[in-house]
Chains A and B, each alone.
Chain A
Amino acid sequence: MAKTAQIDVKDQDLLGALRGFFMAVLDQDEISAILVPWRLPMKNRVMPTLITDPARLDGADPLSPAFPMNGAKVVSRLTRKASGGKIAVVLRPCEIRAFIELVKLKQGRTEDLVIIGIDCLGAYRNTDYFNWVGEDIGASTKAFYTRVLSGKGAAMDGIDLAPACQACEFPVADGADVSVGLFGMDTDSRVLVQARTQAGEMLFLNLRLSETEEPPERKKAVDALVAERIAFRDRMFTETHAATDSLEKLTGYLANCINCYNCRVACPVCYCRECVFLTDVFDHEPSQYLRWADRKGVVKMPTDTVFYHLTRLAHMSTACVGCGQCTNACPNDIPVMELFRTIAHRTQKGFDYEAGRSLDEKPPLSEFREDEFDEVVGIG
């Protein structure tokens, strides 16, 4: 079972305490570098950054509501082969779950890796964040986490969390080696640190953390948050289903799609090294378009937008973690996440699978049993 400890927060400086924790981790002989959301020196933005110099950790900012990309893609790059050192990575729960999917798809490795997950306070949409964040990121981040952790919700200055975050029932980093707990804690004075795997326990020992119990208020706080999220999620499922339950409605839902494929690029679990939609298969002859147009008198350009989304649903929906980066990446404001999560919920349930839950469960389409799904065979 998980080992639990608490680390003290001095002078009510939560971010400082987390930075101190990261420093202690990086200070370990076996850890060569730490990947952490970090404030860029040249602009008021936060990006995943690989750090080897402990002094640079003063810019670490894992609590800001910035979520420019799903970090699973970065960690996949860092771990697809041995790097010659052990890396600690600080990720949001959805990033961890996406990375678990990538590991199962052989696009990342957990060897030489320690995953640190922090209770996720959620994030704003990219464009909302850019408009909202002040020149002083420090003040913006502090205003955000103080508000969320005081239980007042994340909505401020007329914006709220991205819908993906409002619908996310995984605010706690269950898949991490070491998780940091904030919900249900008096974060002015201490936060929770839990070792959840063997790698986590090793780090736990090396950091000489002393074991304590998890305060009972924490479970209550997390359960209440999850219930709220699930209620939002289920409303989203109902609304999205109603908006797309015929081909005509779906075509309307996706009407703004211009085949830019940004959603595919932003998607952490769209795992093909070369997407079929970028191959010669879709490099149609000009005469082909004329034949298509001739058939019904019209053909919408660009073609194959609905086809693209349906194919992507078939290819990756069983691995969808609902991080919402697809919606973030859409230049034309299509609520992509809402659609994909709604369908992914069905497909994952159909295979009794949950994306990112465990490294031990094989992706549904990479295995089979001889005796299963007889109901889909035959002509009724």
Chain B
Amino acid sequence: MTDFEPTIIAFVCNWCTYTAADLAGTSRLTYPKNVRMVRVMCTGMVDPQYVIKALLEGADGVLVSGCHPGDCHYINGNFKARRRIKLLKEILPQFGFEPERLRLTWIGASDGIQFAEIMRELVAQLKTLGPSEAKLKMVI
């Protein structure tokens, strides 16, 4: 499993986690290239179907990441996101998706270092977990 490179789809909010990723870049921090970022205005606009589609299309992990509680640019979008992730975490494991494949984090705009650390940790976890069943078997 050493040569397995997981694919991670990250839905990151414009105001916090995307900015943190930007900061990580401008600070010349390194982190694995496995993560494909999708910039959204707010985690509150991440419909569960985006997560489901990413997983069914073969993403090994999906990360939704936004502002810390209280810091949402739209006041409460991240709280709505948290309920949707809670919902998905009730549904997806029923069908064999490991809970580790869906993550929600709060990474603030100034958390460039944390961003890089979390990416490294996520990739390490997914490498241990191995490729997703969807990637291996799904024919859509």
Distance (Å) between the CB of B119 and the closest chain A CB?
10
* Number of residue pairs A-B, CB distance < 8 angstroms: 118
Please measure, in the bound complex, the distance between the C-alpha atom of A244 and the C-alpha atom of B125, giving whole angstroms. Answer: 25
* Chain B neighbourhood of A226, CB < 8 A: none
Q: Give the contacting residue for A300; candidates B56, B94, B122, B140; CB below 8 A.
A: B140
Chain A CB within 10 Å, residue with most, of B80, B83, B89, B100: B83
Q: Find out whether the CB atom of A244 lies under 8 angstroms from the CB atom of B140.
A: no
Interface status of A310 (Cβ within 8 A of chain B)? yes
Chain B interface: which of A51-59, A93-101, A179-187, A343-351? Answer: A343-351
- With CB as the reference atom, state the residue of chain A lying closest to B96: A246
Please measure, in the bound complex, the distance between the C-alpha atom of A5 and the C-alpha atom of B32, giving whole angstroms. Answer: 72
Please report which residues of chain B, range 68-85, place their CB below 8 angstroms from some CB of chain A when the two chains form the complex: 69-70, 76, 79-80, 82-85
Distance (Å) between the CB of B57 and the closest chain A CB?
9
- With CB as the reference atom, state the residue of chain A lying closest to B63: A379
Chain A interface: which of B11-19, B22-30, B33-41, B103-111? Answer: B103-111
Q: Find out whether the CB atom of B91 lies under 8 angstroms from the CB atom of A370.
A: no
Size bin of chain A's contact surface: 35 or more
Q: Find out whether the CB atom of A296 lies under 8 angstroms from the CB atom of B139.
A: yes
Chain B CB within 10 Å, residue with most, of A244, A247, A276: A247
Q: Find out whether the CB atom of A365 lies under 8 angstroms from the CB atom of B84.
A: yes
Q: Find out whether the CB atom of A248 lies under 8 angstroms from the CB atom of B137.
A: yes
* Chain A neighbourhood of B106, CB < 8 A: 377
* Chain A neighbourhood of B104, CB < 8 A: 376-378
Please report which residues of chain A, range 311-370, place their CB below 8 angstroms from some CB of chain B when the two chains form the complex: 311, 313-315, 317-318, 342-343, 346-347, 350-351, 364-365, 368-370
Size bin of chain B's contact surface: 35 or more
Interface status of A372 (Cβ within 8 A of chain B)? yes
Distance (Å) between the CB of A243 and the closest chain B CB?
11
Please measure, in the bound complex, the distance between the C-alpha atom of A183 and the C-alpha atom of B87, giving whole angstroms. Answer: 37
Interface status of A132 (Cβ within 8 A of chain B)? no
* Chain B neighbourhood of A159, CB < 8 A: none
Q: Find out whether the CB atom of B90 lies under 8 angstroms from the CB atom of A377.
A: no
Distance (Å) between the CB of A116 and the closest chain B CB?
34
Please report which residues of chain B, range 83-140, place their CB below 8 angstroms from some CB of chain A when the two chains form the complex: 83-91, 94-97, 100, 103-106, 118, 121-122, 125, 133-134, 137-140
Q: Find out whether the CB atom of A350 lies under 8 angstroms from the CB atom of B87.
A: yes
Please report which residues of chain A, range 217-253, place their CB below 8 angstroms from some CB of chain B when the two chains form the complex: 241, 244-251
Interface status of B52 (Cβ within 8 A of chain A)? yes
Distance (Å) between the CB of A273 and the closest chain B CB?
16
Q: Find out whether the CB atom of B53 lies under 8 angstroms from the CB atom of A307.
A: yes
Q: Find out whether the CB atom of A241 lies under 8 angstroms from the CB atom of B87.
A: no
On whether A376 and B82 interact (CB within 8 A), knowing A247-B95, A306-B56, A350-B90, the answer reads yes
Interface status of A156 (Cβ within 8 A of chain B)? no
Please measure, in the bound complex, the distance between the C-alpha atom of A346 and the C-alpha atom of B90, giving whole angstroms. Answer: 6
* Chain A neighbourhood of B2, CB < 8 A: none
Please report which residues of chain A, range 254-268, place their CB below 8 angstroms from some CB of chain B when the two chains form the complex: none
* Chain B neighbourhood of A318, CB < 8 A: 87
On whether A299 and B96 interact (CB within 8 A), knowing A307-B52, A310-B52, A314-B88, the answer reads no
- With CB as the reference atom, state the residue of chain B lying closest to A347: B90
* Chain A neighbourhood of B88, CB < 8 A: 314
Q: List 22 A-B contacts (CB under 8 A).
A: A246-B96, A246-B133, A247-B95, A248-B137, A251-B138, A298-B139, A307-B53, A314-B84, A314-B88, A314-B91, A343-B91, A347-B87, A347-B90, A350-B90, A364-B83, A365-B80, A365-B83, A368-B76, A368-B83, A372-B82, A376-B82, A377-B104
5 closest A-B pairs by CB:
A314-B48, A246-B96, A368-B79, A311-B49, A350-B90
A-B contact sample (13 more), CB < 8 A, given A247-B133, A342-B94: A246-B96, A247-B134, A296-B139, A298-B139, A299-B139, A311-B48, A350-B86, A368-B76, A370-B69, A378-B104, A379-B105, A379-B121, A380-B100
